[in-house]
């Protein structure tokens, strides 16, 4: 319970005739400030007038003493029940504060996850748009590559045709060149063949002997590459001359005449 004057918990509560309860100090200060004569005063809540002076009981018969009560009486309140209620109220308030803090924390977590979900959805949307753009670019690149492949195939077929045509032309040129070379080299080859049968290098006037019959000398076959490229001669290094040391018996034989017949022998 709280005081109607100080609005705090009651301290030494007292009651006025109208039934309102106030703190003793609060009611005393109120009466001192509002009572004009110090005998009467008004209730701070309902403004009802009440007497503050208790009559002297000695002037009254004893049978009326029980009906004479003071206007301001001390109030005794059982605070045990209120204490339990107050404890439950404090626990409830603490529970409410804890729930409010949990609520704020959950709201913060929800806001964070909501922001992350929004960012993820935006990223997913951007990724889908990017995938579509890449698919379009891939399709255009594929079409361009197919066109380039077709152009390359056509160019390859054209080059193959040109190559076959040039090959036939080269074969015709080689055939005509072989025919011309066989016609041009025919007599000279016969002369060379006849000259290779007999060695006529010896002068008949210088020697009365008839020229000797030699074996047939035929030229070695040479390939086209050997005719075109010069022949490399192998050069072998000269054999090194080693000095041979004479034997001991040879030295003795060489020195023996000088030892026996030397006039300078002592």
SS (H, E, C) the chain: CECCCCCCECCCEEECCCCCEEEHHHHHHHHHHHCCCCCEEECCCCCCEEECCCCCHHHCCHHHHHHCCCCCEECCCCHHHHHHHHHHHHHHHHHHHHHHHHHHHHHHHHHHHHHHHHHHHHHHHHHHHHHHHHHHHHHHHHHHHHHHHHHHHHHHHHHHHHHHHHHHHHHHHHHHHHHHHHHHCHHHHHHHHHHCCECCCCCCCCCCCCCCECCCCCCCCCCHHHHHCCCCCCCCCCCCCCCCCCCHHHHHHHHHHHHHHCCCCC
Is the per-residue pLDDT at 190 higher than 50? no
- Return the closest-CA partner of residue 22 out of 33, 38, 11: 11
* The most confident of 66-75, 188-197, 246-255, by mean pLDDT: 66-75
Q: What is the mean pLDDT of residues 136-149?
A: 93
- Tens-place pLDDT, residues 207-237: 444 444 445 556 666 555 455 555 455 555 5
Where residue 46 falls among pLDDT bands split at 50, 70, 90?
A: confident
Q: How much is the mean pLDDT over the chain?
A: 74
The CATH number corresponding to 13-77 among 2.70.98, 3.50.50, 1.10.287, 3.30.40 equals: 3.30.40
pLDDT higher at 104 or 86: 104
Is the per-residue pLDDT at 3 higher than 70? yes
């Amino acid at each position: 319970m709280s005081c109607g004057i100080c609005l705090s918990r009651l301290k030494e509560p007292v009651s006025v005739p109208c039934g309102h309860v106030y703190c003793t100090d609060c009611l005393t200060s109120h009466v001192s400030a509002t009572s004009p004569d110090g005998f009467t005063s008004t209730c701070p809540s309902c403004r009802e007038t009440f007497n503050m002076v208790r009559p002297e009981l000695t002037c009254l018969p004893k049978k009326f003493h029980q009906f004479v009560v003071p206007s301001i009486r001390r109030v005794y309140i059982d605070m045990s029940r209120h204490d339990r209620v107050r404890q439950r109220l404090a626990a409830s308030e603490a529970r409410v504060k804890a729930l409010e803090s949990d609520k704020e924390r959950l709201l913060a977590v929800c806001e964070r996850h909501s922001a992350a979900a929004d960012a993820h959805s935006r990223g997913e949307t951007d990724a889908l748009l990017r995938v579509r753009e890449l698919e379009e670019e891939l399709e255009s690149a594929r079409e361009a590559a197919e066109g380039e492949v077709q152009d390359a195939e056509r160019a390859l077929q054209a080059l193959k045709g040109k190559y076959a045509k040039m090959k036939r032309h080269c074969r015709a040129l080689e055939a005509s060149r072989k025919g011309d070379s066989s016609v041009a080299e025919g007599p000279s080859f016969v002369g060379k063949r006849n000259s290779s049968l007999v060695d006529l290098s010896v002068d008949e006037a210088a020697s009365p002997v008839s020229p000797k019959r030699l074996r047939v000398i035929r030229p070695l076959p040479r390939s086209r590459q050997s005719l075109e490229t010069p022949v490399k001669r192998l050069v072998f290094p000269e054999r090194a001359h080693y000095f041979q040391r004479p034997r001991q018996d040879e030295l003795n034989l060489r020195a023996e005449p000088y030892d026996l017949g030397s006039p300078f022998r002592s």
